[in-house]
Homo-oligomer: A and B are copies of this chain.
């Protein structure tokens, strides 16, 4: 019933040559084959519509032409954490560069108990890109996997990994400073969990540095720490509107959260930026599209994904595999002013 698949053998016999010959021309070792046979072989390939099996090749070459992309997932539903467009934008750019080189992306969340190693080994991944922060254990596993790995937005200090990210501390500082420069003195921060070596921690540190530099008091009551979700922002915004009339500005450590804050504020009778100013972080595609257009710290998400992908490919292709290892490349940051921050008088 089902079509028999055409193999290299079929091509060989159709062309009247050996499988080796076919393999040679397929692998660019055509110099080992006469022009003439090359011709007939290509004809046979076309005629039979032959497409090599990547797994079979992988078995012998120990490759898969597969790149694992690990992204965080929600605690509850074990769904990929795509509510945040940040990830989709990045994946999109990663996919388009690795595709240029014939790789495909395998998308996966990492289950709590389950190990990343499993998929890496069983799939024989050629490399991986890991976005976000995970338990220490994951990184240990990764090293064992013994394939090139690039980490996006992680502060793991280990020469094994190539890193790409931004200066999050600076970002936090810039955001807060922008608020301060606009006359704000009571500045809240709403953010995901602040964990060691996470981007959020750095942004938080930047926030504190800006405060300190301006001689402002750091008030723990002004930090709303929970998760990188719209909902958390929404609740925090509501809380601020109802209970913290002194707060005139908030720094949300992700645009997604910022929009939550804004809505929470609005639904509780505050307007943005008249009553309270909001600055976000990321500059997701939606940031400028929505209302009110969000003032935010821009990082080029697509560029980050692209950079990560290119660094990985580079390692994959270089013979020594070590070319970019340990690199920590930082992408630029920039405040983009739209309309959620207002200048305070006095």
Contacts and interface: CB of A to CB of B under 8 A. Distances in A.
A292 to B, nearest CB: 8
Chain copies in the assembly? Answer: 2
A228 interface: no
A105 B119 CA distance: 12
A275 to B, nearest CB: 15
A106 B55 CA distance: 14
Interface in A92-133: 92-93, 95-96, 99, 104-109, 117-119, 121-124
A110 B290 CA distance: 30
Interface in A33-65: 51-56, 58-59, 64
A103 to B, nearest CB: 11
A290 B259 contact: yes
B122 A53 contact: yes
Contacts of A292: 291
B104 A108 contact: yes
Contact of A289 (B73, B146, B230): B230
How many A residues touch the partner, as a band? 35 or more
A118 B54 CA distance: 11
A91 B107 contact: yes
Contact of A105 (B51, B77, B107, B262): B107
B259 A118 contact: no
Contacts of A78: 96, 99
A345 to B, nearest CB: 26
Contact of A59 (B55, B95, B119, B122): B55
Contact of A96 (B77, B83, B119, B262): B77
A82 interface: yes
B104 A119 contact: yes
Contacts of A99: 78, 108-109
Nearest to A266: B291
A92 B104 contact: no
Contact of A117 (B51, B73, B109): B51
Contacts of A227: none
A52 B260 contact: no
A332 interface: no
Contact of A88 (B51, B56, B59, B88): B88
A320 to B, nearest CB: 11
24 contacts: A3-B144, A51-B122, A52-B122, A53-B122, A55-B55, A55-B58, A55-B64, A59-B59, A78-B96, A79-B93, A80-B88, A83-B285, A87-B88, A95-B109, A99-B109, A104-B123, A105-B108, A230-B289, A260-B289, A263-B290, A263-B291, A266-B291, A290-B290, A290-B291
Interface of A: 2-3, 5, 51-56, 58-59, 64, 66, 73, 77-83, 85, 87-89, 91-93, 95-96, 99, 104-109, 117-119, 121-124, 144, 146, 230, 234, 259-260, 262-263, 266, 285-286, 289-292, 302
